[in-house]
Amino acid sequence: MAQLDVMDKIVSLAKRRGFVFKSSEIYGGLNGCWDYGPLGVELLRNIKEEWWKAMTYRDNIEGLDASILMHPRVWEASGHVENFTDPMVDCKQCKSRFRLDILGEMIQEKKKKKILESLQLDGDFDKLLEDGEKSSLLLAEINCPQCGNKGTFTAARNFNLMFKTFVGPVEDGGSVVYLRPETAQGIFVNFLNVQSSARQKLPFGIAQIGKAFRNEINTKNFLFRTREFEQMEMQFFVKPVNDVEWYEYWKGERLAWYKSLGMNESKLQFHDHPKNKLAHYAKDATDIEYQFPFGWGEIEGIHNRTNFDLSRHEEFSGKSLKYFDEEAKEKYIPFIIETSAGASRSYMAFLIDAYHEEEVNGEQRTVLRFNPKLAPIKAAILPLVNKDGMPEFARNIETDLRKNFKVFFDDKGAVGRRYRRQDEAGTPFSITVDTQTLADGTVTVRERDSMEQVRVASTQLKNYLVEKIQL
Ligand code: ATP
């Protein structure tokens, strides 16, 4: 099966089974925005919940939920107003807009070589394309990938990715605010509030889950690059001399988290950023990458942000953000180790990773092998037939389990087909009420991946599931 076919199948399953829909679909959709359906919202919540538990059920990390709109000076201090830009070009003919680096990726290597030769230029095509002087020379030789015309591109311009809006009724410069492009700044500006209210000492962290918005020029690959998405970020404040140690610690912890939730180890890797390509604030940076059907892509960034953020906020706000280290009897601005994961992007990775097609007794089955903790529905309750008291018995089990788990009752059609529907939704356990149930109170529990069935006393079901799911 070609890798990109898999992607199509997953997108179609996501829609058919209610994981992900296009935003405003009946109006033709809104580019870069997606809605999470009944199964999807459960999966997303479970991912966030597992992250929240892993990150904040510790004595040295506190939670926070900061507002999306912040004082506009925040984004000046952070560098976003000035630097959060992508160079882009427009095709004057067909009006398509391209991010310059992505335009570069769209051109075949052979073609690049030819253009460089014809212009008698040496060097790396992609780098030259972003080099002010050479850029327009190269652009004049490129055919627009959309309409095919040559020499129709505007010069490259910087495009700020922040969404702008206004507070209050007057839409003027004085009322501009931005939809946050990352959750991190809400944490930085609250550093001392959290530290003093929670009486924390360094090293400690602040964790937050929330929406972020980026006016991405090219949205593509389903949930990978969207304009509205969710981040799960944690900023860990450390004494400057301990930065390297904590950076390594968080690298290990974060990779282990994906593995602990069943993500295929061979599809995960670190991509360390070379020192000469680090962002202006970073001393060290790595991406945790997942091997998507379209190639390796970042799902989380881990950065040593030094004291850049707090120093800048100190400078721009005029308020001291220094920490008083009682043991060392000194004041300093802490270094920050950041772990910044995309909830929506890792959602996509978990979904793709779980997707399997297999043949069972000559029949094809599609199964989402989610770790039970992430599975949208934990158990399906299926009366074998719709008579002899089986539906009533099954309904009682449903009522009982519903107090603790998201469960699903299904009494329609052949049981084999009902199992397949649950496989496709990633439900780890299917509980069937049959003739024997009526005699001895036991039910069969079928496990999704092995398809093995065991008999369990219906009174023990809750304990059985708790143990298996390890809630
Ligand atoms: P990229 O280079 O892919 O645009 P980035 O390096 O700008 O990503 P960060 O700013 O480090 O990303 O953001 C941290 C995480 O937030 C990313 O690892 C990713 O999971 C998520 N993320 C960032 N931008 C988007 C987006 N447009 N859509 C979905 N998730 C995103």
- Last residue of one domain, picked from the residues 143, 160, 177: 160
- Last residue of one domain, picked from the residues 138, 160, 182: 160
**261 belongs to a structural domain:** yes
From atom 22 of ligand 1, which residue's Cα is the shortest distance away? 342
Give the nearest ligand 1 atom to 343 CA. Answer: 20
pLDDT at 37: 98
Query: For 142-159, what is the mean pLDDT?
Result: 91
In the reported structure, the alpha carbon of residue 12 is separated from the centroid of ligand 1 by a whole-number distance in angstroms of 24
Instruction: Determine the Cα–Cα distance for residues 460 and 128; give it in Å rounded to an integer.
Output: 67
In the reported structure, the alpha carbon of residue 55 is separated from the centroid of ligand 1 by a whole-number distance in angstroms of 19
Give the nearest ligand 1 atom to 223 CA. Answer: 29
The CATH number covering residue 141 comes to 3.30.40
Question: Ligand 1 pocket check: which of 340, 344, 347 to mutate, most ligand atoms within 8 Å of Cβ?
Answer: 340
Same domain, 151 and 168: no
Question: Cβ atoms within 10 A of the Cβ of 8, count?
Answer: 12
Instruction: Determine the Cα–Cα distance for residues 164 and 172; give it in Å rounded to an integer.
Output: 11
Higher pLDDT, 129 or 380: 380
From atom 9 of ligand 1, which residue's Cα is the shortest distance away? 301
SS3 labels along 381-412: EEECCCCCCHHHHHHHHHHHHHCCCCEEECCC
Instruction: Name residue 213's beta-bridge partners.
Output: 228
Question: Ligand 1 pocket check: which of 33, 162, 226, 229 to mutate, most ligand atoms within 8 Å of Cβ?
Answer: 229
Task: State yes or no: pLDDT of 431 exceeds 80.
Answer: yes
User: Measuring CA to CA, which residue among 45, 48, 57 is closest to residue 205?
Assistant: 57
User: Is the C-beta atom of 210 inside 6 A of ligand 1?
Assistant: no
Same domain, 169 and 251: yes
**372 belongs to a structural domain:** no
User: Is the C-beta atom of 300 inside 6 A of ligand 1?
Assistant: yes
**370 belongs to a structural domain:** no
Same domain, 91 and 70: no
From atom 11 of ligand 1, which residue's Cα is the shortest distance away? 301
Same domain, 67 and 95: no
> What's the number of domains the chain is made of?
3
Give the nearest ligand 1 atom to 300 CA. Answer: 18
Same domain, 319 and 228: yes
User: Measuring CA to CA, which residue among 350, 341, 385 is closest to residue 253?
Assistant: 341
Amino acid identity, residue 150?
A: K
Asked whether the bond before 428 is cis by omega within 30 degrees of 0, the reply is no
Confidence band for 280, pLDDT divided at 50, 70 and 90: confident
From atom 26 of ligand 1, which residue's Cα is the shortest distance away? 225
What would the pLDDT profile of 187-222 be if each residue is shown by its tens digit?
999 999 999 999 999 999 999 999 999 999 878 899
What would the pLDDT profile of 314-368 be if each residue is shown by its tens digit?
999 999 999 999 999 999 999 999 999 999 999 999 999 999 999 988 889 999 9
Task: State yes or no: pLDDT of 471 exceeds 80.
Answer: no
Same domain, 118 and 21: no
pLDDT above 90 as % of the chain: 83
User: Is the C-beta atom of 254 inside 6 A of ligand 1?
Assistant: no
From atom 27 of ligand 1, which residue's Cα is the shortest distance away? 225
Instruction: Name residue 35's beta-bridge partners.
Output: 21
User: Is the C-beta atom of 298 inside 6 A of ligand 1?
Assistant: yes
The CATH number covering residue 203 comes to 3.30.930.10
Confidence band for 172, pLDDT divided at 50, 70 and 90: confident
Same domain, 135 and 220: no
Confidence band for 170, pLDDT divided at 50, 70 and 90: confident
Query: For 393-415, what is the mean pLDDT?
Result: 95
Task: State yes or no: pLDDT of 436 exceeds 90.
Answer: yes
In the reported structure, the alpha carbon of residue 457 is separated from the centroid of ligand 1 by a whole-number distance in angstroms of 47
Instruction: Determine the Cα–Cα distance for residues 228 and 211; give it in Å rounded to an integer.
Output: 7
Task: State yes or no: pLDDT of 387 exceeds 90.
Answer: no
User: Is the C-beta atom of 345 inside 6 A of ligand 1?
Assistant: yes
What would the pLDDT profile of 30-64 be if each residue is shown by its tens digit?
999 999 999 999 999 999 999 999 999 999 999 99
Instruction: Determine the Cα–Cα distance for residues 106 and 165; give it in Å rounded to an integer.
Output: 33
**183 belongs to a structural domain:** yes
Instruction: Determine the Cα–Cα distance for residues 304 and 302; give it in Å rounded to an integer.
Output: 7
- Residue 391, domain extent: 377-469
Instruction: Determine the Cα–Cα distance for residues 194 and 275; give it in Å rounded to an integer.
Output: 32
Same domain, 252 and 332: yes
Task: State yes or no: pLDDT of 83 exceeds 80.
Answer: yes
Confidence band for 246, pLDDT divided at 50, 70 and 90: very high
Same domain, 203 and 285: yes
Question: Ligand 1 pocket check: which of 105, 163, 345, 348 to mutate, most ligand atoms within 8 Å of Cβ?
Answer: 345
Same domain, 214 and 292: yes
The secondary structure of 190-203 as a DSSP string is THHHHHHHTT--SS
In the reported structure, the alpha carbon of residue 247 is separated from the centroid of ligand 1 by a whole-number distance in angstroms of 19
**42 belongs to a structural domain:** yes
Angle at which helices 243-260 and 38-56 pack, to 10 degrees?
Answer: 140
> What's the CA dihedral at 390, 391, 394, 396 to 10 degrees?
-110
DSSP β-ladder status, 355-360 and 363-368? antiparallel
Instruction: Determine the Cα–Cα distance for residues 334 and 304; give it in Å rounded to an integer.
Output: 11
What would the pLDDT profile of 88-139 be if each residue is shown by its tens digit?
999 999 988 888 988 998 899 999 999 999 999 988 898 888 887 888 899 9
pTM: 0.91
User: Is the C-beta atom of 219 inside 6 A of ligand 1?
Assistant: no
Confidence band for 262, pLDDT divided at 50, 70 and 90: very high
User: Is the C-beta atom of 231 inside 6 A of ligand 1?
Assistant: yes
User: Is the C-beta atom of 301 inside 6 A of ligand 1?
Assistant: yes
CA-CA distances (angstroms) from residue 109 to 89, 229, 301? 20, 33, 29
DSSP β-ladder status, 163-166 and 176-179? antiparallel
User: Is the C-beta atom of 228 inside 6 A of ligand 1?
Assistant: no
Asked whether the bond before 203 is cis by omega within 30 degrees of 0, the reply is yes
Amino acid identity, residue 468?
A: K
SS3 assignment, position 314:
helix
Same domain, 176 and 147: no
**90 belongs to a structural domain:** yes
CA-CA distances (angstroms) from residue 131 to 97, 125, 157, 401? 19, 10, 12, 62
**360 belongs to a structural domain:** no
Round the CA-based radius of gyration of the chain to a whole number and report it: 26
Same domain, 167 and 149: no
**143 belongs to a structural domain:** yes
User: Is the C-beta atom of 344 inside 6 A of ligand 1?
Assistant: yes
User: Measuring CA to CA, which residue among 303, 234, 237 is closest to residue 53?
Assistant: 234
> What's the CA dihedral at 113, 116, 117, 118 to 10 degrees?
120
pLDDT at 218: 79
In the reported structure, the alpha carbon of residue 338 is separated from the centroid of ligand 1 by a whole-number distance in angstroms of 13
The CATH number covering residue 446 comes to 3.40.50.800
Query: For 231-251, what is the mean pLDDT?
Result: 98
- Last residue of one domain, picked from the residues 160, 180, 204: 160
User: Is the C-beta atom of 340 inside 6 A of ligand 1?
Assistant: yes
